[in-house]
Amino acid sequence: MRQFAPVIFDVTHSVQQPGANKGTSGGQRQMAPYLARAAGAAGIDGFLSKPTQIHL
């Protein structure tokens, strides 16, 4: 894959569970750091992560 473009890991979508929140996407955000570290150990070229909205 790297011969064509850099390999980027999308942290946000890797933990997403579509439909988990009654019509909206939910997920296990607590898993994001572990998956990001694993991707980094595998030698990816970069990360992509969308900020999440915090409801107070």
In angstroms, the CA 49 to CA 51 distance is: 6
In angstroms, the CA 36 to CA 27 distance is: 15
User: Looking at residue 46, what is its pLDDT?
Assistant: 94
Q: Which two tokens stand for residue 32?
A: 């994001």
Q: What does pLDDT average to in each consecutive run of 10 residues of the chain (56 residues)?
A: 87 81 75 92 91 60
User: Looking at residue 55, what is its pLDDT?
Assistant: 55
In angstroms, the CA 20 to CA 24 distance is: 7
